[in-house]
Structures are given as structure tokens and as C-alpha cells.
Amino acid sequence: MRKFIRTSRLSYIFAAYFIAILCFFIFRVLNVMVFCFSTEDQDVHLDWQLFKAFVLGWRFDTVVSAYILALPLIFVAVGDIANIKNKVYYRVIHIFVCLCFSVSFFLCAADIPYFNYFFTRLNVMALTWIDSLNFVVNMIVQEPSYFVYLFLFLIFTVAYDWIMSKIYRKTLLSERTVVSFTPTVIVSIVLVFLCFLGMRGRLALKSPIRVGTAYFSNNPFLNQIGLNPVFTFIKSVEEKNKEKNKKVSLIDLNTARRIVAGELSTPIDETKSSVHLAEGTNVVLIIMESMSADKVGYFNEKSDLTPCLDGIIRQSLSYDNAYTAGIHTYNGVYSTLFSHPAILSQHSMNKVLIPTMDGLPNVLKDKGYQTLYFTTHDEQFDNIAGFLYANRVERIISQKDYPVSQVKSTLGVPDHVMYEKAIKVLNSLSADKPFFACLMSSSDHGPYVLPEDIDFKPHSNGIKNQIVEYADWAIGRFIEDARKTDWFNKTVFVFVADHGYAKPGSKYEMPLSYHHTPMLFFSPSQIKPESVESFALQIDLGPTLLSMLFEDYQNNTLGIDLQREKRPYAYFSADDKIGVLSENYFYVYHTNGMENLYRLTDDNANNCMEEQKHLADEMRDYAFSMIQYSQYMLEQKQKRKSSNTGSIE
């Protein structure tokens, strides 16, 4: 093997990779040093977790290097196998490698002052002032410290090119004995496969490496230092250019601000009775995969699939006319935890610049709560882990925390396994501090896997009905197990679906079954059973819960306190459509401009836009304003995050 490496031109690729990794490592060390030395009046604690950040950094550096070296690897392998001796052929490969890594080093050098100033890794926002290039150049020229980073770039580029040129002459250009054909082919295939793995950055099939992979702690500095600025810059450009992530322009911002201000400044009914939970009440929030109200017997007398959930609802404060924000799990997690609506097809959590929200984990962490999130599968999917770690979730329990033998599909472990784990983890928490635990189930999502090694037997036909029965059984079992704990009577259990499902034969192009959800607050010792018929949204769950917990809660979201406020309409998104419900009508807007207004009592879906145009306009403007203003609020959060260095703890 040693002889093969010495005689094969593939050794050039090995050298290019290892030297580049060393350069990226040095840039990362310099970034840490510059940031630490320039941080004033802040405590910078760098413990063993810095090592973990650097290990993650090596993974991101490998991804960047693998993308750069993929084509050179293939061409060098072909050259080795075919014994190509043309010098121009190899010179083009060498120039390509040096040029790509030189650009990478430029981005790394530019990232040091960028990170030190904005406390975020280099991204597409650096191009914000590209139309004022003359001003930017003058600003850089007039700041002497920037020349240090330019000098760094030149040193790294010249050094890398000089070293690689020597290796280039010794490997790609040298006369060598003909390498055995079969070993060369085998090694080339193995290296191409390893390069592909390097490009993915992870072995897990469910998701490649994402920005959120670097978020492993509650320390924002350590979370970001593992990232490679080339990776974040390219990913942010890619994200910005995706059609689904482009900004929405539904309504004039001033109009949106006026309508939102009018809605959120509605006088609160202080005379209405409301729930006040005891100080230090624990919170267990269960987001139920695809649990449409249509599947639940409490809402649909034709369904007998959910006896456990039906019983819990009857003992709870239940909002019977509640609707989810979107049709994807990431919509459900985001809108439930952070009280912002879904913005059409935009992915609310898979972002390079992760905004700091004012949601449940943020507020509860500030109030002294321990914050946890449980999922059955890969926490990196949809960038959920990164988003949650950046927003005050301390600990995430996911597929990595379960025995491999319990993982049944790409969705990880069955629901009951997650619930069992949750009981054990919550029992182990410190009793001195209350906890907030969000549990995201997944069994009611394909591929459907019905566990066979449990004390549960479905009575219905068809796997989709049986899996609903199982999901309900798992919830009931979890509540019974929780009743046996010391913390049960000091806990409020909150239930909501991430979204529903498209019921076959839906009357409308936006199936209401996809959005109508159970939403309930269950605490036998503190909350009396009650059913509320007024509109409720998934985004209202957080403010309502926090108002129950804290009298001084200040709501900075687009949700409302359902105990004392009412919504005139319910609204929600489904990628390319927006739906708005009044008591008697259903308005649907398509992004291609088509609009429909349906009377809910009609047997058929007849468009009555013409006869009720004023109502349709009012419903549309209400939803458009909420969604448009949500986008504005998120932009402001990202700008504040980019302009604040934050504290390092």
C-alpha cells in the first residue's frame, strides 16, 4: 500500500486535502484568538467543549474540501488508470485546486473581522452593500486592521500554492512506473466513495450536514466557531436563491403594521375568568404527528381510534376550533414553540442566520426552567436541533440516545419508546428547578411501523387507522406512567398536532382536516375541564400558556392570550396557498393570484367572491398582514443578531 501511495498520482489529492485542513484549522484558531482578545467586559469561558467545536469544524472543513477535490479526484484517478502523461491535463487540475482553495482562504480571512463584528459567520448578508462597492472599498482602506487579514490571506495563499506546486511536480508531473490496473481502480472507487461521504458530512441517511449540526451547546460562540465560512457563505447564497425562500410581498408593510397593531392592541377582557398556574409548574408539551381533529373521536363521532386522547380532552381546557399554521412538521414545531405563522413555502427553521426568538423555550429558560426537546429520529432533520439550541433549548434527546435495536425506520424509534425515555429523563432532572419538555411524536407518519413487541393490539383495519390507534395508546400509556411520578401534580400537559392530514374527498383545495387540530391544557390538580369554541391558532398556544404561568408575561409574538382575547379569523398556509376562516366562510388565496370564497354551509364548493367581496378582502388583508408582519419581525431579529456580538458564557 505504501508503494502504491508513493507511485500513484492520487497522492496529490491526499496532500491537497491534508494541507487545506491544516490551513482551515489555523484560520479557526486565529478566529478564536482574535475574538477572545477583542472581547471587552465579557467573560469568555473556553473549556473542553472548544475541542468538540474544533472536531465539528474538521467535519465542515472536510465538506468544503471534498466538494473542491471531487472533480480533481475523478480526473486524477482517470489519469492514473489510463496512464495519461499529458502535462496540460494535470496542470489544469493543479490550477483548479489552487484557485478554489485560494478563494476559500480569502473567505476565511474575511470571516475573521466579519465574525468579530457581527458575531455570525460569513454569509450572503456580506453582499448587502455590493451596490455601494466604492463606499465599502474606501471603508476597508481607511481601516488599517483590515490589511492584517488581507496579509493573512496572501500568506496562506502563497504558502499553499508553493507547497502544492512542489507536490504537483513530484506527483502529477513525475515519470513513474506503471501502476497495477486493478489496485488503482479499486482504490479510486473507494476514494470517490469517501469523497462523497465527505461531501455529505454525515453517515446518517436522513439528512446531510447542515448549519445546525454545529449547534451542540447553549454557548453561541462555541456553536458558531465550528462552522466553516465557505460553507455558511455558499449555503446562505443557495438558501436565498431558492424560490420558496424568497421574500413574500403580500401587502404594504404600513397597512400590515396598522392591522396587526389594531389586532394586538384590542382591549383585554379582564372580567373573563382565566387559569393561573402555581409558581414552578412544569410544562410537558406533546406535539402529535398528523393528529388531525378528524381522527379524534371527541371531534368526529365516526372515529373510535383515540379513546385515550378523547378521555384526556374531556378532562382539559380544550380549544375545539384550533388550527395549525402549516402542513409540515417544521411548521408545527416552529409555530407551536415560537408563535409565528408559516410563511407560505418558506422553511421556517432551515436557515443559516438563525434568529433569536421570543418563544416558549426562550422565555421559560429566562425564568429558570430546564428546557428539553425529545424526538424519535435524527435531530438534524429540518435543522431543528440547530434552531432549538440557538433558542435556549438546553438538551435534545433524539435517535442517537436510543439503542440501535429500537430504531425501526428512518423515523427512528416508535412513539412509546420516546415516551418511556422521557419519563426516565424527567425523573432524573433536578427537583430544584421546574422543567419544560417538548415531545415530538412521529409514528403517525410514513413509513408506518406498528410495534409488535408491546401489549397493544389494534381493532381497526388498515395500517393508517391502526397507527392512529397505536399513537393514541402510547399517549395514554405515557400519561399513566406520568401519574406515578412525583412531578405529575405539579405539571401542565399541553397537546397539539404539528399538522393534520389531507382527508380523501375534501370539499376544498385546502383540506380543513390538514389544519384543524386538538389543542388542550391538561392538569387535573389546577385546570378545570372546559371547551372553548372561539378560533384558536397554533401560534396562540405559547402566549396562552405563558400567561397562565406568569402574571408579568410580556407577549412579543404574533400569538394572543386565548383566555382573554379573541380572533376574528383563523388563518394558515399550505406552501402555495393561504386559507382564512370566519364563522361562516372559508377564503383561499393561491400564489398565482386566484381567489375563492366558500360558504361553509353549502354542500358544494361554490365560489361566492362576487357577492361577498368586502368580506373576502377583509379576511385576505387580515391574513396577509399577519404573515407580512411576521416576515418583517424576523428580518429585524436577524439584523439585530448580526449587529450584536452577544455574550459568551
Active site residues: 329
CA 531, CA 317: separation in Å to the nearest integer?
A: 6
**Are the CB atoms for 365 and 570 separated by under 8 Å?**
no
Which sign does the torsion angle of CA 199, 204, 205, 206 carry?
Answer: negative
320 is in an annotated binding site: no
C-alpha cell at 454: 408491546
In 488-626, the DSSP E strands lie at: 491-497, 516-517, 519-522, 530-537, 570-573, 577-581, 585-590, 595-599
340 is in an annotated binding site: no
Angle, CA of 498, 504 and 505, to the nearest 5°: 125
**Are the CB atoms for 628 and 256 separated by under 8 Å?**
yes
Residue environment code for 365-383, b if the CB has 16+ CB neighbours within 10 A, otherwise e: bebebbbbbbbbbbbbbbb
Rounded to 10 deg, the angle between the 181-200 and 49-82 helix axes is 150
What type of residue sits at position 202? Answer: R
**Are the CB atoms for 580 and 493 separated by under 8 Å?**
no
Q: At which residue does the C-alpha cell 362576487 appear? A: 610
CA 141, CA 133: separation in Å to the nearest integer?
A: 12
DSSP 121: -
**Are the CB atoms for 317 and 470 separated by under 8 Å?**
no
Rg (CA), the chain: 28
**CA dist 213 to 53, 220, 362, 395, Å?**
11, 13, 20, 14
Which sign does the torsion angle of CA 6, 7, 10, 16 carry?
Answer: positive
How far, rounded to the nearest angstrom, does the alpha carbon of residue 54 sit from its chain's CA centroid? Answer: 22
The helix (run of H) or strand (run of E) holding residue 318 is: strand 317-323
Burial of residue 116 (CB within 10 Å: 0-12, 13-18, 19+) is middle
Strands 395-397 and 370-375: parallel
Rounded to 10 deg, the angle between the 87-118 and 229-241 helix axes is 90
445 is in an annotated binding site: yes
Burial of residue 520 (CB within 10 Å: 0-12, 13-18, 19+) is buried
**Are the CB atoms for 371 and 358 separated by under 8 Å?**
no
DSSP 310: H
For residue 288, give every residue at least 6 positions away whose Cβ sits within 8 Å of its Cβ, in sequence order, or none: 441, 444, 471, 475, 495, 496, 497, 498, 518
* φ, ψ for residue 361, nearest 5 deg: -65, -35
| Binding annotation for Mn(2+) | 289, 329, 498-499
| Binding annotation | 289, 329, 445, 498-499
